[in-house]
Every structure is written in C-alpha cells, then in structure tokens.
C-alpha cells in the first residue's frame, strides 16, 4: 500500500471504524469502490480506518505528494438527513470538529490544511450524515447510510475522472 500512496497522483482515504455503526461508512465505500468499480490508473483508494493522521503526516514530510486527496467519512452536521452525502472543506469544520474531526479520533484537520495550503494538494472531503453511532461495538451501517455507499462511489469516480481533464 505504501508504494501506491506515493505512486499515484489521486488518493482516496476511507476513514472510520467498521465496528461502530455508521462510523464505518468510509471503509465501506472503499471496499465497494475497490470491488465493484474500476478506478482509473491515476488513483488509489485505501481503507485507513482511524489511522489517517499517521498517513497524512507521512505525506506532509514526503517530497512526493498526491495532487488530489479525497477523504470519505461519516459525520454529524445539524439540519441534514441521515444518509445525505455532502462535501465539506477543512476551513468549514468547527473548532470542536477540527480538534477531533468526525466521530472517531482523526486529529488531522491541521495536517489536511498544511497539505492543501502550502503543500499544493487539492483536499476534498466527502461526508455522509450519520444515522447512528452506537456506544458499544455494533458493526453495520444504518439503512440510510448504507444506501449512500454507491452514490459516494459514483461521486468519487466522477470527481477523480475530472482531475484527469
């Protein structure tokens, strides 16, 4: 996986924990994307679970960076319906969210901003509105969030192909 991360100009990270309900959206999207869709040769998609921060730090230190980085994650945003897909940007994240991005520990908003601003990497975040995150281990997405997985794959493919233009 490490070679592909530094070998491809377009990287997709699926963030989240499959053991905690809708928090597993990012990894679920990556699994479906890699199994049922054809990524163009310029792109690599990885389930990074809850370890995105380490990989982003590696990118920050590396002389070779992707041109585009897509983050797929689950989050809560007031006024949205469960399963609703939306794009958000690092500068739109509230201070509280910036400290522990999303619902799992992803203390990486500052790293994303560093990659984007001085680093020249285009960073895009595709999120789904959570339906539920259990307090204890309970794998499986809610019906609404599961219904958004294919739409997320299609959005990613469309946007990845747009980077080639």
Structure tokens at 111: 């790293």
Q: Are 33 and 19 in contact (CB under 8 A)?
A: no
Contact predicate 16/104, CB 8 Å: yes
With tokens 């204890």, the residue in question is 136
CA 160 to chain centre: 14
User: Has residue 121 got a pLDDT over 60?
Assistant: yes
Answer for the pair 64, 127: CB distance below 8 angstroms, yes or no.
no
Domain boundaries, the chain: 2-87+106-164
Question: Average pLDDT for residues 41-45, to the nearest whole number?
Answer: 96
Q: Would you call 153 helix, strand, or coil by DSSP?
A: helix
pLDDT score of 114: 87
Mean pLDDT of the chain: 88
* Prediction pTM value: 0.90
pLDDT at 2: 67
For 2-87+106-164, the fitting CATH number among 3.40.50.80, 3.40.50.2300, 1.10.10.10, 3.40.50.1450 is 3.40.50.1450
């Amino acid at each position: 996986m490490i070679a592909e991360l530094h070998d491809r100009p377009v990287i997709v990270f699926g963030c989240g924990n499959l053991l905690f309900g809708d928090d597993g959206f990012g990894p679920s999207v990556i699994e479906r994307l890699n199994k049922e869709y054809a990524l163009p040769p310029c792109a690599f998609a990885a389930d990074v679970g809850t370890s995105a921060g380490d990989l982003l730090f590696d990118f920050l230190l590396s002389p070779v960076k992707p041109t585009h980085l897509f983050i797929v994650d689950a989050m809560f945003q007031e006024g949205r319906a469960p399963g609703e897909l939306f794009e958000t940007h690092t500068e739109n994240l509230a201070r509280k969210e910036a400290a522990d991005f999303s619902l799992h520990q992803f203390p990486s908003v500052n790293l994303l901003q560093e990659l984007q601003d001085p680093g020249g990497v285009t960073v895009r975040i595709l999120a789904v509105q959570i339906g539920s995150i259990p307090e204890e281990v309970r794998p499986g997405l809610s019906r609404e969030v599961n219904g958004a997985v294919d739409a997320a794959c299609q959005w990613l493919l469309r946007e990845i192909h747009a980077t080639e233009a």
